[in-house]
Amino acid sequence: MAPPFSNSVQQLTYQKVADYLSGSDLFQASLRTYRDRPKFDILYGSALIEIEVLPWEVHPWEAGDLATVRATSCVTVGSTLECELLQFLLTENRRMRFGAFHLDDAGQVVFSESVLGGEEMSIIELQTCILSVVTIADTYDDIIAERFGGQRASDRLPQSFPQPLA
């Protein structure tokens, strides 16, 4: 059963992402899909990455349905939110070529990147979006947890990653 979509571009983008992830030697073993929303989870190293295919409803173009792919990882939970950590994240953001660190509403350290979906989305753009989050989250979760405390995804997940839902 496919998740609900807001438009055909979102559906096309979802299928491209699903094909890439399920065919990838890096991700197929840890891929989790959802029946009720266009979202995937992958576990890579010590990082959990959420990949969402979202409709882009308010955009600068006059006509046309659009969609985006957003890859996000909660890098650490419970890190001490002090000036030193925030300065570290801002300094590291300057070094990033793709994606950026930010804090979510709960004060957790997050890293994310987005790409425009649709028919024109290339596999290299999709790979860059996902792999940048995978690489940075899996590298920096150890660094941040060691320097500023907190837990990595692998510290919070059950021993066996849940089986795919679809």
* Residues 45-71 pLDDT 10s: 889 999 999 999 887 877 788 999 999
- Name the DSSP letter for residue 120: T
Neighbours of 152 (CB within 10 A): 23
User: What is the 8-class DSSP label of residue 118?
Assistant: S
What topology is assigned to 8-155 in CATH? Answer: Yope Regulator; Chain: A, (3.30.1460)
Tokens of 51: 């990949």
Pairwise CA distance, residues 121 & 113, whole Å: 15
Please give the model's pTM, rounded to 2 decimal places.
0.89
Model pLDDT for residues 89-114, shown as the tens digit of each residue = 999 999 999 999 999 999 899 999 99
Domain regions of the chain by residue span:
8-155
SS3 call for 92: helix
